[in-house]
Structure 1
Amino acid sequence: MRAAAPAPFPLDDAPLLDARGLSFAYGPQPVFAGVDLTIGRREIVCLIGASGCGKSTLLRLLAGLAEPGAGEVRLHSEATGNSSGKARAAAASVVFQSPALLPWLTVAGNVAFGLDFACRAKESRTVQAARVNKALAQVGLAGHAAKRPQALSGGMAQRVALARALARDPEIVYLDEPFSALDAVTREAMQDLLVELAHRRQAAALLVTHDIDEALRIGDRVLLLAGHPARIVGEWRPDGRAPRLHRSAALNALREEILDTLAAPAAPRPCIHST
C-alpha cells in the first residue's frame, strides 16, 4: 500500500466540514453506520458507490436537509459557529441531478430563487441582482438572463442550476450527480467549470457520482461508500492538478484499485491510496 499524498489544504487548517459516527436508517433497515469524513476548504471530494448504497442520503445529511440517526456533522465556520442543520443549510448550496428550473421564471429569476429564504440574511434587490449577474457571468450565461428554461439546452439548464447555487455565495456546494444526463462533451465542460469555480471561489464541493472516471478526473479525494450497512471503505488521492487527463496510467491504476475494493466491500479497515 502506497503512502497517502499530501492533503490539498494546509495540515494546520481545520477542515471546513467534519462528520463523525454518522448513522441513518429507514425504519428498521440501516442505510449506513459509523461514517466519518471531512471536507477541507478549497477541496473537491467525490463520493462514489453502487446504486442504493446511501450516497444521496449521506449528501442530504451533510447539507443539513435531514438529520442523522446518530453522529454529528459540524461545519467549522465563523458565519455559522454551530453544527445545526439550519446553520449548515444556510452556508451551503445543493445542485441536484435535474436542474429543477421553474418554467414561469426567467433564467435570472431562477438564479435568484432562494435568495429571500428565511435562513439567509436580508439583502436589497440591488445586492441580489448583483449576485445573480455575477453568478451568470461565472457560468458563461451573462447574455441569457431574460430567457425562459424552455429555450435552454440541457447543458445550459445545468449551468443555470449551478449559477443558482453559486449566487448564495456558499462555503460548500453539494452536487448529486448533476452531470449524469449530459452528453460526453458537455459533461466534461461542466466538470472543468466546477473545478474552475471551486478554485476561483475557494469553496469546497462534495460531488456524488457513479462515474469513477469523473471522480478521478476532478476529485482532490475520492471516497468509496459500500457495504451493508454502508461505510467509507476506501479513499484515494489522485496526483496532479484537476482536471486531469483521461486514461493516464496512474488514473487507470487507481480505477482498478477502486473496482477491486468495490468488489470486496467487507474489507476489515478503510484503505488509503494515492498515485
Structure 2
Amino acid sequence: MSDANLLLSARQLAFSYGGAPVFAGVDLHIARREIVCLIGASGCGKSTLLRLLAGLAEPGSGSVTVDGESGAWRAAKASVVFQSPALLPWLSVADNVGFGLDFACRPAEGKAARHERIARVLDLVGLTGQGEKKPQALSGGMAQRVALARALARDPEIIYLDEPFSALDAITRESMQDLLVALAHQQQSAALLVTHDIDEALRIGDRVLLLAGCADGGPARIVGQWQPDGRVPRQHRSPALNHMREEILYALSNPGPAWFPDL
C-alpha cells in the first residue's frame, strides 16, 4: 500500500482490561475508499479495537492516525455506526441525522446549509421525505438507514461499523450491505466493518482480517488476511470464495502464528 493511498495507520496497539491483556501488537492499515472487514470469535476484542481506532477509547500503547492526524482531529474525520441504531426517541429522523453537526470539532454551518446536508443524506439512504417521523415509527431496517445517514452527514473519511446489520432479517441485511458499498464508493469513504458473519465479510470486503487469540492463551492479534477477488458486492459465491471461507473457518478454530504478517 503506497503512502499516498494510506488513510488509517494503527501501529502496535495494545489494550488490557482489569489487568488482563485483550490484544497486543496490532498493526492495521486501511487505504482510501477501501472496505475492510474484521472478523473473530466472540470476546476476542473486535469491538474494543474498533473503539480505539475511532477514538472512543485510548489504547494502553501504540498509535493511530487518520490521514496523518491523531487525537481530536482524527476523530473529526470519522463516523461510527453501532449494532443498535442508537436514535434519540424524542428527536425526529432529521434531527437525529443532524445530531452532532454543531459540535465544536465541526466547522460552522448555517441553518440552510445544515438542512440541505440532512436532506441530501436522507435521500442517499432512500428516506426522502421521512425526516419528520419519530424513531418509534421506523422498521429496524429504516432505523439503521437513519444511523447510516447520521454517519454520512459528517462527510467522514472513514466509517467504523460495529455489527450494524446483525439484527436484521436476511433480505434487509443484504440490502443494507449493498447500500453500504454504494455509499462508501459514492462518498469516497473508507470503512471498517466488524462482523461475525464470514459470508458478509466475503461479500463486501476488499480485505478480510482475522483477530484471534493465541493458542497459548496470550492476547489476541491479527493473524490472517484475505483479499477476495471480484467486484463488491459479490452476488455469487465462487469456488475460490468457498475455499477462502473454509480457510477462515479453519483459522478461527486453529489460532496460531500469523499467516500474513504484512498487513
TM-score range, shorter chain: over 0.9
Q: Is the 8 A contact 1:97 1:177 kept in 2?
A: yes
Aligned letter for 1:263? S
**2:29 equivalent to 1:38:** yes
**2:46 equivalent to 1:60:** no
User: Which residue in 2 is equivalent to 1:232?
Assistant: 222
Q: Is the 8 A contact 2:161 2:193 kept in 1?
A: yes
CA distance in 2, matches of 1:12, 1:160: 34
Q: 2:175 aligns with which of 183, 189, 192?
A: 189
Aligned letter for 1:106? S
CA distance in 2, matches of 1:157, 1:12: 37
Q: Is the 8 A contact 2:8 2:31 kept in 1?
A: yes
Q: Is the 8 A contact 1:61 1:68 kept in 2?
A: yes
Number of matched pairs: 258
The within-5 A match list for 1:171-186 is 171-186=157-172
Q: 1:253 aligns with which of 240, 243, 247?
A: 243
Cα deviation digits, residues 60-88 of structure 1 (max 9, x gap): 000011111111111125xxxx312x112
CA distance in 2, matches of 1:12, 1:58: 23
Structure 1 gap ranges (5+): 1-6
| Secondary structure of the corresponding residue to residue 13 of structure 1 | helix
Aligned letter for 1:177? E
CA distance in 2, matches of 1:233, 1:239: 20
The within-5 A match list for 1:18-97 is 18-76=9-67, 82-84=69-71, 86-97=72-83
TM superposition shift of 1:271: 2.7
**2:167 equivalent to 1:170:** no
Q: Is the 8 A contact 2:45 2:220 kept in 1?
A: yes
TM-score, L = length of structure 2: 0.95
CA distance in 2, matches of 1:180, 1:72: 30
Aligned letter for 2:109? E
| Secondary structure of the corresponding residue to residue 271 of structure 1 | coil
CA distance in 1, matches of 2:180, 2:19: 38
TM superposition shift of 1:272: 7.6
CA distance in 1, matches of 2:65, 2:75: 12
Q: Is the 8 A contact 1:47 1:224 kept in 2?
A: yes
TM-score, L = length of structure 1: 0.91
CA distance in 1, matches of 2:5, 2:190: 13
TM superposition shift of 1:118: 1.6
Cα deviation digits, residues 192-223 of structure 1 (max 9, x gap): 00000111111000000000000000000000
CA distance in 1, matches of 2:260, 2:59: 25
| Secondary structure of the corresponding residue to residue 133 of structure 2 | coil
Q: Is the 8 A contact 1:236 1:272 kept in 2?
A: no
| Secondary structure of the corresponding residue to residue 63 of structure 2 | strand
**2:259 equivalent to 1:270:** yes
CA distance in 1, matches of 2:259, 2:30: 17
